[in-house]
Amino acid sequence: MKPTDIQEVKARESRVRVARALEVCRLNLIKDLDFFKSSRGEIDDLQLAIDAIERSHPQIKYLAGLDFNGRLLPVRWLDDPENVKGCKILVVCCDQASLAAEFFPHVVVVAFGTFQDVLEFADSTHPIIPRPYVEEPLDLPELPSHLHYSFGEASAAIAAGKNVVFTSEKPGLGVTMIARRLVSALGPLSHEHAIQVSGIHAHVGLTTELVRRRPFRAPHHTVSDQGLFGRVGKTRQEFRPGEIHLATRGILFLDEGQEFRRSTIREVFRLQRQRETTRVVVGWLVTNGTPAPSAEQLAEWNAVEVKITR
């Protein structure tokens, strides 16, 4: 299917959603709209619905999707600066209220759950207070005593800006348990870095709130190149972040590293050297057919070997 055909399908679907949302509120389209007018290539259902019933205001921007029952839905291009260009008030769905407030501190962010609420707001002014972000604590089992030394060694390497390669001669020795805890060695996220991470994760719909914990990503060795390195598009909206982008300011964990293609491992560390915003942790099972990485490889990867034994 051609890109123009896909856009036509999106436009038809958006028009149906807008019409159904208006029907729920016993309203009809006052004027037909150009469903291709978005410069992003994405269609903003809520703004189109407001324009359709001539309730738009030059200083208010509406940014949300709609379902057939008139409920507001999150959008994945929330962090685009064009969203707030020239506006003083940004209307979003409740799920993205806190995140929008972090992205755009210079505008007033108000949040609603349904299109009916938005209509009442458009005719008056009574914003709903956005829901605060509540971080849930990590629920990790206690680290066994035989892993304490290895964890300390790996944490010191991560804090010093190094990557880590865990080597073991048999599976099930606790490599993943250590790797998940290594985000603590990087310290807490600053506000600036939290906004950066939230923007990447919101782009693929992984969060509707401000991310306050460093990410930990652990792709399987069967992951595709697009899944790991992302997909490049002609526009910012067409770009699809990969696992290495989703691990920004956190840990990218490649368990069973010996199963990944050697070219993939090299590319991961090459990109890591360029970005320097992610630490790479590799779990490596040493067997007769797959020896541990050599000293030259570790130097090339800027990595420290940590042996796991029992």
- For residue 94, what is the domain's CATH number? 3.30.230.10
Whether residue 113 sits in one domain with residue 156: no
Please count the structural domains in the chain.
Answer: 2
State pLDDT tens for residues 209-238.
788 889 999 998 888 888 899 887 666 556
Whether residue 115 sits in one domain with residue 162: no
Query: Measuring CA to CA, how many Å separate 219 from each of 90, 201, 242, 253?
Result: 36, 15, 10, 7
Average pLDDT over every residue of 118-146:
60
Q: Tokens 């291009």 label which residue?
A: 77
State pLDDT tens for residues 241-294.
889 999 999 999 999 999 999 999 999 999 988 877 899 999 998 887 788 899
Whether residue 162 sits in one domain with residue 114: no
Between 150 and 43, name the one with better pLDDT: 150
Whether residue 149 sits in one domain with residue 119: no
pLDDT of residue 19: 74
Instruction: Please indicate, yes or no, if residue 238 is contained in any of the structural domains.
Output: yes
pLDDT of residue 45: 77
Whether residue 229 sits in one domain with residue 109: no
Q: What are the structure tokens assigned to 175, written together?
A: 């490599």
Whether residue 285 sits in one domain with residue 208: yes
Instruction: Please indicate, yes or no, if residue 138 is contained in any of the structural domains.
Output: no
Whether residue 203 sits in one domain with residue 167: yes
Between 44 and 43, name the one with better pLDDT: 44
Whether residue 58 sits in one domain with residue 13: yes
Which one, of 266, 270, 226, lies nearest residue 246 by Cα? 226
Helices (H), the chain: 3-24, 45-52, 97-103, 115-123, 148-159, 175-181, 191-203, 225-229, 243-246, 262-275, 295-301
pLDDT of residue 71: 85
DSSP annotation string for 52-114: HTT--BTTEEE--EE-TTSBEE--S-TT-GGGGTT-SEEEEEGGGHHHHHHH-TTSEEEEESB
Q: What is the dihedral of CA 122, 124, 125, 131, to 10 degrees?
A: -60
Instruction: Please indicate, yes or no, if residue 45 is contained in any of the structural domains.
Output: yes
pLDDT of residue 9: 67
Burial class (CB in 10 A: 0-12, 13-18, 19+), 221: middle
Predicted confidence (pLDDT) at residue 41 exceeds the cutoff of 70: no
- Name the pLDDT band for 119 (thresholds 50, 70, 90): confident
Whether residue 179 sits in one domain with residue 119: no
CATH number of the domain encompassing residue 279: 3.40.50.300
Query: Measuring CA to CA, how many Å separate 114 from each of 25, 30, 132, 309?
Result: 10, 20, 19, 56
Phi, psi of 48 (to 5 degrees): -65, -40
Structural domain boundaries enclosing 79: 3-123
Whether residue 295 sits in one domain with residue 172: yes
pLDDT of residue 27: 67
pLDDT of residue 37: 47
